[in-house]
A = this chain, B = another copy of it.
Amino acid sequence: MALTDAQQQEIDAARSAAHQTRRPTVPALEAMLFTATPVLDHGFVRVVDYMGDDAAIVQAARVSYGRGTKAVSEDRGLIRYLMRHRHSTPFEMCEIKYHVKLPIFVARQWIRHRTANVNEYSARYSILDREFYIPAAENLAAQSSMNRQGRGAVLEGAEAARVLDLLREDATRNYDHYVEMLNEDEKGEPIDPGRQGLARELGRMNLTLNAYTQWYWKTDLHNLFNFLSLRADAHAQYEIRVYAEAMMQSAEAWVPIATGAFRDYRLGAVTFSAQMLGILRRMLAGEAVEQADSGLSKREWRELMDTIGRGL
């Protein structure tokens, strides 16, 4: 499932092609087209196609505002205004398509983003590659003791070695048994011609969740930003965050103004509840507010203090 020679030739051919088009074209993204960005130990992200640019967002917004926008300030200001006020439909007018290779447990998180188009490699039809995600030493983290879905300190020494050994051995053994049961090797050639192989749609169940799959994934810019706001966030699991970060780079090349606005007004933004805003106003007026008289729970109070930089 790595790129085959045939696939690689096809990609190289596409990459070297130069067509004439009247469509909006973004040179910075063209430069990245058909180039795979490596992610994790065997994965990648590559942009396959795109539609629209920053100006396409403006164009769509202007249709909505019609003549009313004669006086509206320039494009950058308009895009930032749209982002700040969550006018999301103009961002839907841009579309991007990725080819992604990723571990199955990451794919399971990713697919929860429903407003996207997907074609995934099917292990009902075809044999998966002998490739598994094994974390690098610095990512082999212990369970957080504070956060049920978080990571704590990095494991080290014998403990780390034991984990890596188990992950490697189990994935490899399961894969070996997978091809044995299928009676087909990685290339799909029969191993023992005198024997029937298990149906592929059954054999795949023996694989581990760190096996790699791949898919084409296409979405519009608004939904890409929704994806990135959850997956490029510090709370996202590291193994999906690195994909999101690679995609942020392509967004940066593609729609730099919109991506800048996304960074400022969504990724880096904070939301305060009605109660929190009341407390902020009291504080700004010079009042010393304590958790006890804040009306907030201890947990919310701590979140607020962290946000405004007064945490310990």
- Shortest A169–chain B CB gap in Å is 8
Residues of B within 8 A of A170 (CB): 170, 173-174, 177, 206
Question: Contact between A117 and B92 (Cβ–Cβ < 8 Å)?
Answer: yes
Q: Mark A211-222, 1 if CB is under 8 A from B, else 0.
A: 000111010100
Copies in the complex: 4
State in angstroms the CA–CA spacing of A203 and B144 once bound together.
13
- Complexed CA–CA distance, A205 and B265 (Å): 35
Closest residue of chain B to A91 (Cβ to Cβ) is B117
Judge whether A196 and B159 touch: CB under 8 Å.
Answer: yes
Distance to closest chain B CB from A247 (angstroms): 17
Contact B198 A140 (CB under 8 A): yes
Q: Is the CB of A207 within 8 A of B206?
A: no
Within 8 Å CB of A30, what residues of B?
A: 20-23
Pairs across A and B, CB under 8 Å, 25 listed = A19-B24, A23-B30, A63-B215, A63-B216, A65-B122, A65-B125, A67-B187, A68-B125, A68-B188, A70-B188, A84-B273, A90-B119, A117-B220, A149-B200, A162-B181, A166-B181, A167-B205, A171-B206, A204-B209, A205-B209, A264-B273, A269-B274, A270-B277, A277-B308, A280-B280
